[in-house]
Structure 1
Amino acid sequence: MVSVPSPTHGAHSATPVEQPPLPVKMVIAGGFGVGKTTAVGSISQIRPLTTEAAITEVAAGVDDLTLTPGKTTTTVAMDFGCITIDPTLKLYLFGTPGQDRFGFMWDDLVEGALGGLVIVDTRRLDDCYAAVDYFEHKGIPFAVAVNAFDGQVEHDLDEVRWALDIAQHVPLIVFDARKTGSVRDALLVVLEVALSNAEEATAT
């Protein structure tokens, strides 16, 4: 005699479908030579896509290489990489070009971004105003990360906040663009700020 299984037989034994991680777009911005390409390359779990071009004599006359004499290439469009933070979240990273003449690309690169990380070189604070102003004007949550070149920074964080006129609610941290863990921690700060802003917007 063949037994006929009930309609619910095996209903609870099915393996649950694993959901893919939530994709989140994040922008890494800053002035020329502050470490954006390095940061993306340090954290990306895939080989990063870069649009590096050689610095020509003409470009060298426009871009200040005084404090970056060993820099031979520059980003002319964007950098791209990604990192899975945990099984529920995957960050897609878009690095902006640093020179003013490529500023027209920024609007396209930041569209749909949850937040931004603005990298600062304290040796050249004048180059960092534009990026800070851009995110403030766009109303995009962001954090400012001072890149510790050679393991040190030229000014303390209070001086940097004052010089760049960074609002008190904007996180200001020190990180090392060459180190994976340091870049990850900086991105988590941006993520925390973005989620906090989203919760406040929902509450109001």
Structure 2
Amino acid sequence: SRGVSLILTPVLAQALHDLPIFNEAKAALGISHTALNQLRRRVAMRHRDQLDRWWRDRIDGLKTLPIDTFARCYGVHPDTVKAYHQRLVGPTQPGTNRTWEYQRVNQLMVMFLDHHADTGFTDLRHAKQNPAIPMGEYGYREETPQGPVYLFTSDTLVRAIPEFTLKRISRALEATGWVEASTWVNGEKPIPKPRRISGRRNLYYHVHRPNS
């Protein structure tokens, strides 16, 4: 018995062209390893050529995005991103492009506050009047003559902008004017300010809209 024969229709051929990554094609088409190889040979496709085309179509992102960001965006392992960056772009590591990263964090913080500024923070005046009032989902909001200041803990700041690590978030916020310039220790993240609120001492990042 030769098993089930596959008919190479135009639709199937197009699907093979659109799915250059072998395991993705195998899962999407529901066929065996051997059958997929046979189909690829029948349409004169080479696996490496298909992969190269996929990566070259995304060369701009490969040049500018940090490795872990590119990996998350396209569902590719970071080690694979590093290998193709080395092969197609060169030895310079993506992620040294601070401008893109700072702009992205700035954009995400604007979007976050547009949605959560009123509901995600406890008014600090109310917390001082009644210590039983709990901290908001993301922290406290302090009204100042220059505008509201949002007090994040380390954990809530990362939850607000989960796309980056705490170190990269705080570095970008400082560079773009969201937090005051602060002391760096051994090249690590800026030190948040200690505050005692409702009888509990904690460290908070004091975040405010730039120029406010």
- TM-score bracket for this pair, using the shorter chain length: under 0.3
TM-score w.r.t. length of structure 2 = 0.22
Larger strand proportion, structure 1 or 2? 1
After TM superposition, the score normalised by the length of structure 1 is 0.23
